[in-house]
């Protein structure tokens, strides 16, 4: 995660970016070195959120100014490294579906929010849904087919179902 912002102004001496776990951290971990050059509308630090446990965190930017004055700015963020869960609902392997329009549905959940579910049939995009119950309609074409669905959460984590074979007479 990039930390973008400004650390500049009258009497600028240095800045440091830190993070702490929880809504009110009792300990802070410095990200990178103390920086002695002002930055305006630039990257101040990078946080590797993969190493963090899921949950809320605080960022703290401390700007030191001449005379020993310190200015602190806080921002919250949430680490989410957990993939959503997903399963195709009501479709068993090697099922036979009727001709016409077929509806597919998944059960998908996440500790934050499922942002989308996409479906692939025979390796091609077949549809997407952004709201539960995450269904699509498909014009059933005769033949042997394979379907899978992919859920993505708001942090960009994803999970996919097993590929399930089915047929349409």
At residue 96, the pLDDT reads 96
Q: Is the pLDDT of residue 159 over 90?
A: yes
At residue 112, the pLDDT reads 86
In 3-state terms, the chain is what percent helix, strand and coil (to 5)?
A: 5, 65, 35
Higher pLDDT, 38 or 50: 38
What does pTM read for this prediction?
0.75
Confidence of residue 158 (pLDDT cuts 50, 70, 90): very high
Predicted confidence (pLDDT) per residue in 80-133, tens digit: 999 999 999 999 999 999 999 999 999 999 988 999 999 999 999 999 999 999
134 SS3 class: coil
Confidence of residue 63 (pLDDT cuts 50, 70, 90): very high
Alpha-carbon distance of 55 to 46, in angstroms, equals: 18
Confidence of residue 43 (pLDDT cuts 50, 70, 90): very high
- Identify the structural domains of the chain with CATH numbers, from first to last: 2-79 (2.60.40), 85-168 (2.60.40.10)
Confidence of residue 66 (pLDDT cuts 50, 70, 90): very high
């Amino acid at each position: 995660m990039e930390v973008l912002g400004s650390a500049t102004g009258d009497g600028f001496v240095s800045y440091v970016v830190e993070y702490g776990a929880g809504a009110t951290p009792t300990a802070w971990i410095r990200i990178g070195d103390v920086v002695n050059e002002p930055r305006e509308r630039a990257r101040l630090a990078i946080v590797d959120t993969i190493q963090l446990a899921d949950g809320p965190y605080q960022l703290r930017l401390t700007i030191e100014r001449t005379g020993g004055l310190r200015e602190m700015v806080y921002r919250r963020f949430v680490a989410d490294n957990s993939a959503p869960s997903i399963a195709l609902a009501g479709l068993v392997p090697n099922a036979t579906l009727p001709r016409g329009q077929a509806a597919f549905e998944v059960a998908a959940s996440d500790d934050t929010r499922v942002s989308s579910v996409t479906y692939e049939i025979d390796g091609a995009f077949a549809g997407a849904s952004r709201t539960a119950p995450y269904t699509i309609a498909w014009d059933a074409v005769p033949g042997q087919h394979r379907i899978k669905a992919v859920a993505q959460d708001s942090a960009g984590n994803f999970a996919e179902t097993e590929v399930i074979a089915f047929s349409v007479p």
